[in-house]
Structure 1
Amino acid sequence: MEWKMLKLLTLWSLHILCLILLHMKKANAEVPAIIVFGDSSVDAGNNNYIPTVARSNFQPYGRDFYGGQATGRFCNGRIPTDFISEDFGIKKYVPAYLDPKYNISDFATGVSFASAATGYDNATSDVLSVIPLWRQLEYYKDYQKNLSAYLGETKAKDTISKSIHLMSLGTNDFLENYYTMPGRASQYTPQQYQIFLASIAENFIRKLYDLGARKISLGGLPPMGCLPLERTTNIMGQNGCVSNYNNIALEFNDRLKNLTTKLNQELPGMRLAFSNPYYIMLLIIKKPDLYGFESASVACCATGMFEMGYACSRGRMFSCTDASKYVFWDSFHPTEKTNSIVAKYVMDNVLAQFLE
């Protein structure tokens, strides 16, 4: 009996020690801010302040966010970057750069330049008149100037070099642009288009590097053929995942992974990580019960088959009562619970290297 008690106390002591070491590791990690570029997967509300229909600043969006506030996040609550920011011990959510409620004192510890419905390709952002990636970079340059005025030039440069720059985009380039609009498909084969997008990603990362960024996470594509919208329209495939879209995601992710290796070799002091959400998302979708979900093919909002944005607002009376039982919030975007699982996976398996 005493031996068992001693063993339990030893295990408990080791557990406490591990927690203390993890806390010390985070405290000494020197990640002062989370800086975000991308699309609706990480847009914290920038689209609220531009003339576009790609918005979500109304109920039922945000119903599980702090205060039940619809911030412009395409979710019932928080998005992955919010959870990542909290995991780094910075703050519970990352604000949108264009939101007038916030200023440089808020942005000094985290800011999102992301815009829903955008992509690497300028033609993608033109579809719904949203913020292109090049414009996000211009906002970032303005942010750096404001940060220098606020912190002083030396501390601002130090902050930029130690902050994690997160990129999450690409899905819209294929689903909203290449496979929907006539332009790019007539110019490029799917493989050529991937090369075109990867070259834009490379140029963007090089520009971030030239501006002082040293810790960058390049996000991959999810299994986009399994989004409820794609499954709803896959009638011939009995509403299963669209394998062609998933294969494209896998191919493009391989290109981004290779790009990561290349740039780490070519850019001195660079720590570029490839954050791949594909396999964890696919596991959640294929085996939702493992994570406590009841539905992976139909979303929470309205009928759950094709609604997002304003269509969710019109159909809110039909929305589910408990979003935590659903993998997807609307036909394109995960629920807060799914975002938290994916964020933890990426944090533990990829971003933890920035704590070293």
Structure 2
Amino acid sequence: MELQRMVLVVCCVLSLSAAEGVIKLPDNETFPALILFGDSIIDTGTNNYVANTLVTCDFPPYGRDFMGGTPTGRFSNGKVPSDFLGTPRSQPSDLLNGVNFASGGTGYDPLTAHLVSVVSLPEQLEQFKKYSENLKGNFGESKTNFILSKGLVLVVSSSNDIANTYFATGARKLQYDIPSYTDMLVQTASSFVKELYESGLRRIGVFGAPPLGCLPFLRTLFGGLQRICVEEINMASKLFNSKLSSELQNLNQSLPQAKVDLKLMTEDAAAQEP
């Protein structure tokens, strides 16, 4: 139930639909491609191919409600949000429609991906650069520049940093308090967006952190016998989102022709039992 509700929230926030390789938004605005970076919320199977990772879901009951009822590497019993934004294809020409680089378990903090051996955001960016070169080699520089500058980019990260690396494991608590840790996350997110911009991408949606203190496993760890939502963790999410919003506004002003937006998830996305 938890991820199903999150799917609904993500889709409502974006108001996206996919048809014939074009992502359509309100006011007849279209995007020729969808390019995704981030974590398990949008990962459609990347970790199936990551050796020695500690974060996998290629076993039952994952996938029981997906087509065929078998695990696919999605962190869900069915679809994940990225499935609602486009239709998977396998032809070479489908590179023009975009790529999903997301890897479940990753985050802005370099330690987050390292702890569980998944594809970090810098590694996802390197994969994107190879994809970009592949586009140029197959379709030419002009077509590639059009795809990158007009395509829609979504970055979904930060949940694993706050929920796992900081609170659940305490791996960063000796180095940072919550204000300084969220500062570090925001600066890393900002640097990542700048690198996307320098790589030719212009339309970028960055997701904030949901109210992570209402995640079932954190309520179990820190919510007492009643398993209530943990206000300290929710406040960390809010603080991160507030700082991220300000930083993205600065980027919009400093990066010519860039459109960088913050997308937020609601409490319903985190409060449901799995």
Scaled to the shorter chain, the TM-score interval is 0.7 to 0.9
Matches within 5 A, 1:272-283: 272-279=260-267, 281=269
Matches within 5 A, 1:182-221: 182-221=170-209
Q: Which residue matches 1:252?
A: 240
Cα deviation, residue 82, structure 1: 2.0
What is the aligned-residue identity percentage? 38
Q: Does 1:269 align with 2:257?
A: yes
The answer for unaligned runs of 5 or more in structure 2 is: 1-22
Q: Which has the higher contact order (CA 8 A, sep 6+)?
A: 2
Equivalent pair of 2:34/2:98 in contact (CA under 8 Å): yes
Where 1:185 maps in the other structure, the secondary structure is: coil
Where 1:244 maps in the other structure, the secondary structure is: helix
Q: Does 1:79 align with 2:80?
A: yes
2:71 and 2:96 mapped to 1: Cα distance?
A: 23
Report the number of matched residues: 251
1:70 and 1:107 mapped to 2: Cα distance?
A: 25
Q: Which residue matches 1:118?
A: 106
User: What letter matches 2:263 in structure 1?
Assistant: S
User: What letter matches 1:154 in structure 2?
Assistant: S
User: What letter matches 1:120 in structure 2?
Assistant: Y
Q: Which residue matches 2:39?
A: 39
Instruction: Describe the superposition over 1:124-167 as per-residue Cα deviations: whole angstroms up to 9, x where unpaired.
Output: 11111111110000000000011112222111110111111100
User: What letter matches 2:260 in structure 1?
Assistant: L
2:108 and 2:252 mapped to 1: Cα distance?
A: 21
Q: Cα distance 1:74–1:24, how it changes in 2: closer, same or farther (>3 A)? A: closer
With the length of structure 1 as denominator, give the TM-score of the two structures. Answer: 0.66
With the length of structure 2 as denominator, give the TM-score of the two structures. Answer: 0.85
Matches within 5 A, 1:24-173: 29-51=29-51, 52-83=53-84, 85=85, 91-93=86-88, 102=90, 104-173=92-161
Q: Which residue matches 1:344?
A: none
Where 1:274 maps in the other structure, the secondary structure is: strand
Cα deviation, residue 27, structure 1: 9.8
Cα deviation, residue 62, structure 1: 1.5
Cα deviation, residue 200, structure 1: 0.6
Cα deviation, residue 281, structure 1: 2.8
Where 1:272 maps in the other structure, the secondary structure is: strand
- Highest Rg: 1 or 2? 1
Q: Cα distance 1:180–1:229, how it changes in 2: closer, same or farther (>3 A)? A: closer
For structure 1, which segment, 229-238 or 259-268, has the greater mean C-alpha deviation from structure 2 after superposition? 229-238
Cα deviation, residue 59, structure 1: 2.1
